[in-house]
Amino acid sequence: MAGSPADEPLRLGVLGAARITSLSVVAPAAATGHRLVAVAARDAARATAFADEHGVERVLGSYAEVLADPDVEAVYNPLPNALHAEWNVRAAEAGKHVLAEKPSALDATEARRVRDAVHASGVVFMEAFHYPYHPLFQRVCALLGDGAVGEVERVEAVLRMPAPPEDDPRWSRELGGGATMDLGCYALSCVRLLGRFAGGEPRVVAARADTRAGRPGVDERLFADLEFPSGATGLAGSDMDSADRDMSLTVRGSAGELVVPMFPVPHEGDSLVLRRDGEPEVVEHLGTRTSYTYQLEAFASAVRQGTPVLTDAAWSVASAELVDAAYAASGVREPATA
């Protein structure tokens, strides 16, 4: 809020009582001294239990009441994917800064509406792809910028996990589910962020996908082949019904390769491995303080001090366009909105 001291805690409102919130906002707020002043959920009892468990100052009767609360200056939106864009727009129109759980919209059309609302209101908007704010990913970028692997030739970001239960919202088309919406968007965002080391934005040249049995239009897995302006190639995607869990990033170049085994979850594994031709392998550890904590610090800095946001509303549009292209190339479905 304009005029607030740079070190004043953020006053955050939470939309819903999603499971991810304890990791993504509650623990980071406790670690950094920011306030959780309000929460609302469709189920009032669940909101009350959430507030009691996590020390939220008060429970309100609806999401709209959170946006109308003058003590709430910023909101965290972890609602189901299908509700992200609507409430991101409504929050911006209410003059609230927005930390929007990824993906911030179902497709590029929705993302443009969010961007336009954010630009019209002048609020800070951050899409909660948290890993770029962690020193692990920043070190990856520094090494690539220094030519540690030579000219970048191949970028692979592949995420795999065992299947959620059948009644999980991640399998619901109506709620914006699917492997790409939950996992693959991380992979696609990662190759975008690394595009500056391969000439710019990647484009989808082909994609393969399988739908979940009995769930039309919901991808169980999707992998996209990509090409960068430099001629480097890429692979990005996810499998949400895998026997194993894999969260890896690999960058191969003319002089070696860089491997990050757990790039989106550095609190589970903070290592990177650099292998240069003819040299001993180098392993670095960049710390297991969560990327969510670094993300909240970056969000607060943007609100209080005007620090630029990497994953801002314009960035979200470009990421949604890449997701749309992957879906279109795979044949699983067209974008969710016209």
Catalytically active residues, by annotation:
102
CB within 8 Å of 122: residues ≥ 6 apart? none
Chain-centre distance for alpha carbon 146: 26
Rounded Cα distance, 184 and 222, in Å: 7
Hey, what are 118's tokens?
């954010």
Q: Is 271 helix (H, G, I), strand (E, B) or coil?
A: strand
Q: How far apart are CA 335 and CA 338, in angstroms?
A: 7
Q: How far apart are CA 59 and CA 20, in angstroms?
A: 18
Can you read off the two tokens belonging to residue 8? 């004043």
Which pair of structure tokens corresponds to residue 140? 């990856």
Taking the CA atoms of 186, 192, 197 and 203 in sequence, report the sign of the dihedral they define: positive
* Residue 125, beta-bridge partner list: 98
* Residue 122 to residues 24, 64, 297, Cα–Cα distance (Å): 24, 20, 20
For 100, residues 6+ apart whose C-beta sits below 8 A from its C-beta are: 77, 84, 88, 114, 125, 126, 127, 128, 316
Strand order in the sheet with 203-212: 203-212, 215-227, 233-239, 152-160, 246-253, 256-260, 271-276, 282-285
